[in-house]
Amino acid sequence: MHVGQTFELPDPPARSQGWRRQDPGRRQCGRLRATLGAVSSRLMLLDTASMYFRAFYGVPDTIRAPDGTPVNAVRGLLDFISRLVTGYRPTHLCCCWDNDWRPQWRVDLLPSYKAHRVEYVVPGAPDVEVVPDPLEVQVPVIREVLAAFGISVVGADGYEADDVIGTLATDAGMPVDVVTGDRDLFQLVDDERQVRILYIARGVGRHERVTNSVVREKYGIDGRQYADFAALREHGFSDDDVWDIAAISAFFGMSNRLANFTSLRPNDEFYALGRS
């Protein structure tokens, strides 16, 4: 397995620009594509925070280092990675990271975005997220362990891990498996580009392989329409304090109507991932 490549994504876009109209890292991803090799290769992108939060809550906190520091999230994350790599045998592996879990440019578009998860505001820097203390002390250890194993950790200032995943998944030039418990990333599913989601909401051992046919069977739309569908779905973004537009979703009949549209332009700026 080829691991350990690190590269930088460029500065974030102007705040008035959306993800679809900006494609951060296209030039860098072109270099990555040239390095990664033949079409037979496969890239696995990990939504790292999504995975270590699940590990923290799923692995007993009795697992500790000799000095008593809890390491259940560390152990669980490594177990998850081992199971996925053994099962799918990717040729390339990348842990995508939240350099900024609540980017200011998104907050400017929607001030309530993830506001309920802010522990305290840091002027001129990313706000501090509410994270359980026993997990917070493990995050630096996770970074150290990933580095020790030579696994790339890729983040970009001013972006969430989702943005990095969106960029790399659409520009890798090879089949891609995205490991996440976040349904918002279903919008990246693309059978033509061989991008699929390994959805771990029910656990890594019970994960679901999400292709475009799965999205269509579940929701009656294509993956590329999922961002608009999620914006219309009742309570679709309640976890991040995004407005509830249930009345609009009911009026449109959601998936039946979305099948007749390419995109709902007002939503692109805020929701869409890595599309050009």
Instruction: Quote the CA–CA distance of 276 and 267 in Å, as a whole number.
Output: 15
pLDDT at 106: 85
The pTM assigned to this predicted structure is: 0.72
Q: What does the radius of gyration of the chain's CA atoms come to, in whole angstroms?
A: 18
Q: Residues 273, 185: contact at Cβ < 8 Å?
A: yes
User: Has residue 275 been placed in a domain?
Assistant: no
CATH number at residue 147: 3.40.50.1010
User: Has residue 158 been placed in a domain?
Assistant: yes
Instruction: Quote the CA–CA distance of 232 and 131 in Å, as a whole number.
Output: 29
Enclosing H/E stretch for 30: helix 26-36
User: Has residue 168 been placed in a domain?
Assistant: yes
User: Has residue 264 been placed in a domain?
Assistant: no
Contacts of 144 by beta carbon, 8 Å cutoff, 6+ apart:
none
User: Has residue 159 been placed in a domain?
Assistant: yes
Domain holding 126, by residue range, is 26-222
User: Has residue 178 been placed in a domain?
Assistant: yes
pLDDT at 71: 96
Instruction: Quote the CA–CA distance of 197 and 88 in Å, as a whole number.
Output: 13
Per-block mean pLDDT, blocks of 10 residues, the chain (276 long) = 37 40 46 50 96 94 94 97 96 94 82 77 72 90 96 93 94 95 95 96 94 93 90 56 50 52 51 46
Strand bridging mode 128-129 / 152-154: unpaired
Smallest Cα–Cα separation from 7: which of 167, 173, 124? 167
Smallest Cα–Cα separation from 198: which of 60, 74, 83? 83
User: Has residue 110 been placed in a domain?
Assistant: yes
Q: What total of structural domains would you count in the chain?
A: 1
